[in-house]
A and B are shown apart, each in its own frame.
Chain A
Amino acid sequence: MKINYTTVNGKKIRLKKADLESTILVWLREELDLTGVKNGCGIGVCGSCTILIDNQPVRACRLKVEKAVSKEILTIEGLAKEDGSLHPLQQAFIDCGAVQCGFCTPGMILTAHAFLLKNSSPERKEVRKALAGNLCRCTGYQQIIDAVMEAAKHYQS
């Protein structure tokens, strides 16, 4: 029988057959206790459940685990260093006042991370567009865009 694996935050994980049919959201939260991924709408619209698969933002509430087989999943828990020191993008979110209730924050940071990996010298308008699929009800997005612009320079090397 073929054994399936996926990688989560750098760690290879062996998948049980039952895991494959689960949504990535439920699997991450229930099986791996990675609760940084949030369920805001359950239909892939609000972006709170955004994770990265091979550095592409996807909606964990809609996608089955089988779609992540042999791929690399990055969740918000995997962005900071092992010693707990923050990724520059996370630090920028704090420095720029981009965090309020925090429920959209993990998805927002991961979407921004994937975007900055592709475009490290963005215009504010481009950041706005990149974040269009992540809803935030607290911030009006202004300071989130500030944070992404602030962090961009760290992606330039």
Chain B
Amino acid sequence: MKKKAWRNDAYAKVTGIARYTDDLKVTGLLHGVPVYTDDIHSKIIAVDTAKAAKKPGVVAVITADDIPGAVKFGQINPDYPILAQEKICTSGDVIAVVVAKTRDQAVAAAEYVEIKTEKLPPVLDPEKALEKDSPVIHEQIGNNLVNYHCIRRGDLERGEKESDFIIEQEFETSRIEHSYLEPESALCFQRPDGVMEVYGSMQHPFSTRRFVASTLGVPLSGVEVRSVPMGGGFGGKDDTAAIVCARAALAAKVTGKPVKITYDREWSFRESYKRHPYRMKYRMGLKKSGRISFVECRLIADGGAYCSVTPWVTWRSTVQCCGPYSVPNVKCDTYGVYTNNIFCGAMRGFGSPQTCFSSEQLIEIAAEKLGISEIEMRRINMLKQNSETITGQRLDTHTVSLEQVLDRVMKEINYDKKRKECSFGKAKGDELYGIGLAMSYRGMSLGAEGIDFNSAIINVQNDGSILLEVAVHENGQGAETTMMKILAAELSIDLKRIRYRQPSTSNIPDGGTTVASRGTLMGGGAVVIAARKLKEKMAEVLAEDLQSQAEDIVFEKEMIYGTERKKMLTFDEGVKIMFNRQEYPYSFGVFQGPKVSWDEKTGKGNAYFTWVYGCQAVELKVNRKTGKITLLNMAAAHDVGKAVDFEMLKGQFFGGMAMGTGYGILEDWKEDSPPTNFHQYKIARSIDLPEMTAVVIENRDPLSPSGAKGIGEPTNELMAPAIANALYAATGKRFTKLPVKLEV
């Protein structure tokens, strides 16, 4: 009998009673809608709201002039206008919010907001944007450079001299849309105590709180953000979702009434940030022995009109620019660039899907140049236990499992045998067959990008039931259930005792955002530490009853045992004694990420405190007449440290492979003809995908209190290059531009 999956929110979700933001109603609710312009780069002369304000049902038409706090905000640079005031910098800019009694009335009135602008020359190409004579989008910065990162390792000249061959290749990746199924939504109202209460579809309540507080000009304590079920994020419900919340809060403040803003898909597509398109130039030096002697690369990321988290995204790309290989000499220059295109920010992968697309093809191009197999080439150069990364970090604190994930995937999909059957452009009919794979290493959590800590609250009630709160966010991935399972394991108690309570921003400290595959690692770490503190506290109080030293007491299978198990209490009895002694079985645990380091000038440092390793493979056929690609089979192996829940893990594997497939062959956000909805923007459907197999590899991480690492993003960085490599095996041609398309 197969073990059945369970999660704490599944019943509500399969019965339709789960309440997402747009499902909430409050008395006196007003509805807000955004107003856009046709411009992408212009100076605002005037915004006239008079006509719109007179339309039926309209309560207020709010512009930047109504903002009591800061007009602009941002996670790194405060360059994003909550409502545009001086300039239009991109097509997603919002100039006003129309608030009316019904949503239909607000929509009808929105077209009567008039704007007078003076057009400015648009900046659309990120490389031209860096040229001296380019128009500048943010005058206060003086140029269009968002940020620059570099790596200088070894001696590139020496690397060149020692090379027997040098290969050069350019790669280009596409802008893609997160395509969470639930569009942005926010509901805000001012409470009698003066606090602005915010409900929203977002994945970072604390960032949302910062956006709202900044817009309203109030301290963080004056805003309380509450979590409700949300329909997917994938990194996309940070800035944009927070901005929608900030506008709804502003409207609630201005009108004195509760306001909801729920986005249409069209607005969501138009306004929400995307994954950065990259242009990448690589040179790689090779020795006859098969060793890589150097890598030189230049990465250009189109950040669009606003900074968002471009400096952090491009930092990860920089750190991981060579893929999971040892390279003695590296020169990498990475530029994040402002353009008038739609802005780019966090998306599942966060700068790695782009570089994986390059590095995992480059290694195969190199293998071919050297006349060795693509697997042999990987084995020679891959990072091993105690290897040094290109930033000088020695991988000696955890198991480096690249070889293991590669072997397991090859075995699972029968790679060696099938590789011999590949067409390489030669076949009797029109159908060409190929198999390909890609592998990666990935730094976990934020690394030297940011401050990395998280907390958990365990509050045992006097009947033995337990309330658990953790500063992570349920984005759909199952974070809450994962936290509950980690707690149940650490206390050795029945999962049924535990109820997860979604904390608000006012009752748990800011634990950072639930991104970067850090929820299980950081939140789970905090749960383990809180549980250990709880056990210590209970052991101290119960030592007398158990006639033991506190340190001898163990918690096992719902029991609390004294020295040599001579005395015992049930968990419930232990809890009762605690309360009788006026001691709360309550604890607060903090997990602080181990130290990381980074030197911005040289690109040296221990970039991340731990790393994960993964490999994905795909079989496909392609019709050389029609160009149609049919995916036949997929397999993935990822080292997760420790598996907390196999079914939820597999869900991350499959979802990541599906999204990676979209990146590889389906999705392409073209700036010159942006899609407005899912009829023009194609994400993977059930029939676009083959059967998939997930292989979970466990090598407990000593630096993770729970032993677990993470899984969300590593699953989403490999399928595009695996498909490109499989297409090469099918056609004998390289596909270096995303999405890959067969020219017919």
Contact = CB atoms under 8 A, between A and B. Distances in A.
A140 interface: yes
Given A94-B14, A103-B20, A40 B181 contact: yes
Given A43-B679, A45-B677, A137 B232 contact: yes
B584 interface: no
A105 B265 contact: no
Interface in A69-106: 75-77, 79-80, 84, 86, 90-91, 93-97, 99-106
A35 B23 CA distance: 6
A40 B229 contact: no
B14 A143 contact: no
Interface in B678-700: 678-679, 683-687, 689, 691-692
Contacts of B15: 36, 76-77, 79-80, 84, 86, 90
Nearest to A37: B16
Contact of B19 (A35, A77, A135): A35
B143 interface: no
Contact of A138 (B4, B23, B655, B677): B655
Contact of B16 (A34, A138, A141, A142): A34
Contacts of B657: 140
Interface in B234-252: 234
Given A77-B15, A102-B229, A94 B686 contact: no
Interface in A95-130: 95-97, 99-106, 109, 124, 127-129
A139 interface: yes
Contacts of A6: none
A40 B16 contact: no
A101 B480 CA distance: 12
Contact of A97 (B5, B18, B229, B684): B5
A141 B686 contact: yes
B154 interface: no
Contacts of B579: none
A51 B22 CA distance: 18
B477 interface: yes
A109 to B, nearest CB: 6
Secondary structure class of chain B's binding surface, majority of residues: loop
Given A103-B20, A142-B654, A38 B10 contact: no
A101 B651 CA distance: 11
A90 B678 CA distance: 27
Contacts of B6: 94
A137 B179 contact: yes
Contact of A135 (B264, B685, B692): B685
Given A76-B16, A99-B10, A102-B476, A132 B659 contact: no
Best-buried of B9, B16, B477, B679 by chain A (most CB within 10 Å)? B16
B647 interface: yes
Contacts of B232: 100-101, 103, 137-138
A133 B683 CA distance: 11
B741 interface: no
A106 to B, nearest CB: 5
B686 A132 contact: yes
B16 A132 contact: no
Given A95-B5, A139-B654, A46 B678 contact: yes
B654 A129 contact: no
Interface in B636-660: 647-648, 650-651, 653-659
A29 B24 CA distance: 10
Contacts of A43: 265, 677-679
Interface residues of B, number: 58
Contacts of A106: 16
B9 A102 contact: yes
B531 to A, nearest CB: 25
B16 A75 contact: yes
B283 interface: no
Nearest to A100: B476
B13 interface: yes
A53 interface: no
B721 to A, nearest CB: 18
A41 interface: yes
A44 to B, nearest CB: 9
A60 B366 CA distance: 53
A37 to B, nearest CB: 7
A35 B685 CA distance: 24
Given A35-B23, A102-B13, A109-B14, A42 B264 contact: yes
A24 interface: no
A89 B686 CA distance: 18
Given A35-B23, A94-B5, A105 B13 contact: yes
A3 to B, nearest CB: 26
B181 A140 contact: no
A93 B14 contact: yes
A132 B683 CA distance: 11
A132 B656 CA distance: 18
A86 to B, nearest CB: 7
Nearest to B692: A142
A40 B654 contact: no
B264 to A, nearest CB: 6
Given A97-B650, A102-B231, A135-B678, A40 B265 contact: yes
B655 A140 contact: yes
B182 A101 contact: yes
B687 A48 contact: no
Contacts of A131: 685-686
A73 B350 CA distance: 43
B280 interface: no
Contact of A48 (B181, B677, B679): B181
Contacts of A90: 14-15
A104 B692 CA distance: 20
A66 to B, nearest CB: 18
A41 B655 contact: no
Nearest to B234: A137
Given A35-B16, A100-B477, A128-B687, A138 B651 contact: yes
A38 B11 contact: no
B141 interface: no
Contacts of A137: 178-181, 232, 234, 655, 658-659, 683
B180 A101 contact: yes
B320 interface: no
B743 to A, nearest CB: 27
B105 to A, nearest CB: 14
A56 to B, nearest CB: 19
Contacts of B7: 94, 97, 99
A54 to B, nearest CB: 20
Top 6 A-B pairs ranked by shortest CB distance? A36-B16, A101-B476, A103-B231, A102-B13, A140-B654, A97-B647
Given A99-B7, A99-B9, A99-B13, 20 more contacts: A36-B15, A45-B679, A46-B181, A94-B4, A94-B7, A94-B11, A95-B4, A97-B7, A97-B651, A100-B477, A102-B14, A128-B687, A129-B686, A132-B685, A135-B181, A137-B659, A137-B683, A140-B684, A140-B689, A144-B686
Interface of A: 29, 34-43, 45-46, 48, 75-77, 79-80, 84, 86, 90-91, 93-97, 99-106, 109, 124, 127-129, 131-145
25 contacts: A35-B23, A36-B15, A37-B16, A41-B679, A84-B15, A90-B15, A95-B5, A97-B647, A99-B9, A99-B13, A102-B13, A102-B18, A102-B229, A103-B181, A103-B231, A131-B686, A132-B687, A134-B686, A136-B686, A137-B658, A137-B659, A139-B651, A140-B658, A142-B654, A143-B651
